[in-house]
Structure 1
């Protein structure tokens, strides 16, 4: 048996029928064998000669065929073809059914109406359909078409039985019947496009091998393709393809009488397609299923037959109308070959985004040539058919051209957006450009250009419209302008923020470095002055954006809030532990190490160090609470300053600077550092009054006599000793060692301050690394417990012992 192994996929876009046997069949599930032990399986006369639908289908499904609980696990196949072509014989041999077969001597019709039976050992229902071209019905072909349509509507696989010598014939190969089936199927079931399909299995009988199967199948495919293109398709389905509703397979069977063994072998091979899911040509694929449960099949099939019986469109057209339809389709196809060839030149430039010059007039001329070619030859045929087909040809031509119309509109849209963007950017670079004026002018230019291009490609006798594209363009330009305005506004606000930061940083830092009762008042004055300047700049720049009063008011509120945020950030930077200790230490040094004239103090043994120390430290510690919270009292207006809270902004919370815990920590650290200054002052007094015993000098002379001789006899050593020793001896006799030590400590302190100032600058430039910088720059003073007038401090250093050394 010769077979075409794959399902046929017919392409509607080629003049010749393409090779369509390369699409693989998806895998499906094989039907389980049915419990049918009887030699003669029960069969039902589903539709009789009088076209009446049997009411016993439900009984047969539930009781005799035991498919009540099968659900979707069953299949339906049907066969149709010319009378006396051996359809029933094929079914009985293929599925083990017991349909009546033709009497070879009488040569009369045996199958009347539609019979149904179950295949042996399988859950498959087979319908034996009355043959076509029978002499019993004569010219009455109405039932043939109805039964064929019913088979297509209810079956997953439709077996088309025909002789080899019938291939290529219009009636013998059932092409007229298939054309009607296709047309009515589109009208009734067109809405299920691509969702449900039916497999047409063409079984070519009595194949002797002279003509290969591939040639026979190509002939059938060409006929099917030609029929499909000639169909009058319902509205909305003009571009549908035959493969949206049908798949095709082809096979041959040897001559039953001349080659009985080969015939039986071919039938057995064909049976595998219905029973073995692993077979590459398995026919019961999921996409063919009608998705009707077995227990509801009688309702579904009965409803389908009722539709077919009541559909007036199934009446056979007159011969004149058939001829007119056939010829008009041929003429239209010829005209469209030239039409498609001419419009092909527009595809590449439009798809590449280019705008085709004079596209409208060119499309109008090409369409006019095609319509004139059709009118010349088709106007001689049936007037109603001609007018209907002419309308279809015009609609089809407009549909093809509409793709280029929409493509050109898309390119015009793109060009308009790009031009609008470029014009807007260029105009905004000019000095004194107002945003709203620039947007309005640029928008008018591109909209006028788009409208001119859209009108030029809109043809008469079409329903084309560019209103939707025009609306989308307006929306796009509006959204782009809005986004651009937001961008320009953000740039303006960013510039204002930099201005605010510049105006706030240095003045606020100076105010906080000079802590005192009026410190926060100075800060608030700086803030108010900066905000007033910022508002003036904001109003000046905002006028160009055509902002509403409400929008301007919101920007002003945001400006004040942003300035306050910048201020609080600066305050937080100035109030970190390292910066606070630096401020406190500077203030303490001013009070303790310098006198009221700003001169450094040189402590003498009879000076009272404790009292100035306590006074300076206490006054300095009193500055810490000033940094606990920002005082919002405006010294100019005499009232508290306040900002409205927002979802992400808490004004009251922003006033808090140092918590109680941090105040205590900073105070403790400062006191420890101040103790070091106290001990330094005490050490300077002790160093200036220390006296060396005389015997130490005698010992040094005796023990160091040799070294003394070595030094005075060596010019180099003598010069070094003179340069170092003479100044030291002079300072000792002049009682200046303490002063020198103080100056050395002062130099060290100034170096320390310089380092901390550099650290502060680094912190301002890199706020994100604030904590790390704080730990690196924070000075860790050595703890020196100090004895007060009351006695010993914790740690036990007695200041009285130091006092004794100075006496």
Structure 2
């Protein structure tokens, strides 16, 4: 640099020359400065590449630094050194190099303090590096020797400056303590240095972590994006894709996955071919975006197809399941077989619809199909159970109706115990074999209990309905019972109303029998005789005898136990005839029975007045006085 013409760049590029002043074969590499204005502010690629080249090929690297720049990030070249450290370790196994920081224009600050600060900064940079696996936990001392040399100001102390520079020069030729020749174990023979240096420079130039070709990336970004858009638009307008998309709207499409995968491959491969010579990073990124856009375009068609496969599978499942039940296949067996078969069929359909470029999840549709199958099975199960239960109820009603009607048409004190016994027996008969078994349902105890309870409830309703029906005809049954007891003796022989029969006693007995009929049909006793234990007594006291206790006060009327809507200690749901109804029925009964009794009395009176033939002949022959005396 000529100070008379001002400040300007002294070194451009990289210069290599042989040093002749130290008596040893030494090559000196002079590298363009990293902070010169000639390179500009944005182009840092060459600076990084040249610095890395110096580190790789040199035993000693002199880093020129102004004393006042120590502690500054940019001026002290720290970002550059950090980047070079990272990339150098990725290129190959680092060769130990000596880093000598030459501090110009030293001040009164002790050199030891400056050296300590610089070494601390270098160590921190090294520790913060993202180390590769091959150099994990590698100490700085294995790769670099860090030295610090301070020189006075050339302009102020020229003589002292030259003297210390001469001392520094001697250190390059000494292997003794204090020498700067570095680690000589991995040196390259002089004859190979030229070839080796060229290979190293080529490797550095091709390394993408240092080469920052902004213009190249920009061009690649624009072109790759345009090519991607062209291929996307071409695919979207492809006639085969349009037909495929239309076809899956309403029905399954066998081979969908293979056809669509082939179409996608065609346009992605076309993109690859058209972007071969562009930046690989940009090319790969745009390719990924193209794939994502294409997959977003075709995904709705895939989901439509899967939904159609699910719908058709569910319809086929329902048909096959219903057919299996019609063939009397066990319910549980049919459920298991059909579910496994058609779920496998659905999975095969999904596999046929899948494309190799994506791994789309069909679990939502699968779960929906399973729920549809379970819902159909549940509805059929409920229907079949209802049908079988209805059949059993019909069978139960058929078996109960005859005996129940017979018992209720001839009520007695054994009517309700016999009804309860028959009810239990018929229910057990239906559940154990009279009704068809529930084939292959694998019902749990709770379901069986519900069915049994339903049958029991139905049987009770049948009996209670018959009881209410016969209670509506209780007056007929009362008259039949009275007539039967009044007209026939205990041996069922027809009574002859002559002078020897006590009409009043027979009438009383017959009325008691009729009253018993009334009490039997007044209250349902399916839950036990306790429900109607006081009904007969109440009716007897009120209708057959005067058991009302006279009131102490003559002005108070006696209590009528039948002037009520309910029976004592009997639930209203079990009441067939209310007390006041029984009283009214009894009055009607007495009116009808009185006719029968009157006829009996009349017949008995007629027999007393009738003259026998032998008595008439005797009167004629002996006279009335003699006959009278004879009869006495």
TM-score by length of 2: 0.49
Compute the TM-score of the two structures, normalised by the length of structure 1. Answer: 0.39
Structure with higher Rg: it is 2
